[in-house]
Structure 1
């Protein structure tokens, strides 16, 4: 089985951008990343010299989620940097590529329902 498709529940392959499939975890409970404090994103996810992010600063937690959701190529990156309940709470506020949003909402209907209610 294609390793990228194995992290999706659907037969449709969605893209974060051309040539980059969106990556989705099977279960939101797997997401146990940080929700506060200062973190340093890996260079693979964010290419700036200073990759420190203060998650307590207004808007930066959502910005980090957008970055990780768009740039992740492995489920482990999602597990390390995202937190399930926080993702659900922020979902309707996140600016994401269409393919990323569709992939996640298809796999996790709670996100789509939350988006409609917001």
Structure 2
């Protein structure tokens, strides 16, 4: 068993960034979310407001993706996000998520920067 990582001394901003980095999939190809239909998010992701989204409706899909990117854990990302939709929506979606989320995803996946 490895020793716990020492995060003391890191700024709140760096701890926040690390939180999102740890959730990332290894590759965008892992994102196998639905291409059609209604998605019902669990309460740990959509803890306030709407929890069901129709993937076939672009605006609802955009809100779904924004919510999952900001609130979802690793397993949520791979279950609810679809690689092709993420790439297609990224130019607009990147403006809807926080700077930390945007930077973490674009640093990990250069194809998102290209899509933007």
**TM-score surpassing 0.5?**
yes
1:110 — aligned with what?
111
State TM-score, norm by structure 2: 0.77
Q: TM-score, normalised by structure 1?
A: 0.76
The structure whose residues are more often strand, as a share, is 1
Structure 1, unaligned stretches of length 5 or more? 4-12
Q: Which fold has the larger relative contact order, with Cα–Cα distance below 8 Å and residues 6 or more apart in sequence?
A: 1
Structure 2: 5+ residue runs without aligned partners?
6-13
Q: Structure 2 matches for 1:47-86, cutoff 5 A?
A: 47-48=47-48, 51-72=51-72, 74-86=73-85
Deviation of 1:35 after TM superposition, in Å, equals 2.4
Matched residue count: 103
Q: Please list every run of at least 4 consecutive aligned residues from structure 1 whose deviation after the TM superposition is greater than 6 angstroms.
A: none
| Aligned positions of 1:85-104 closer than 5 A | 85-94=84-93, 95-104=96-105
As a proportion of its length, which structure holds more helix? 2
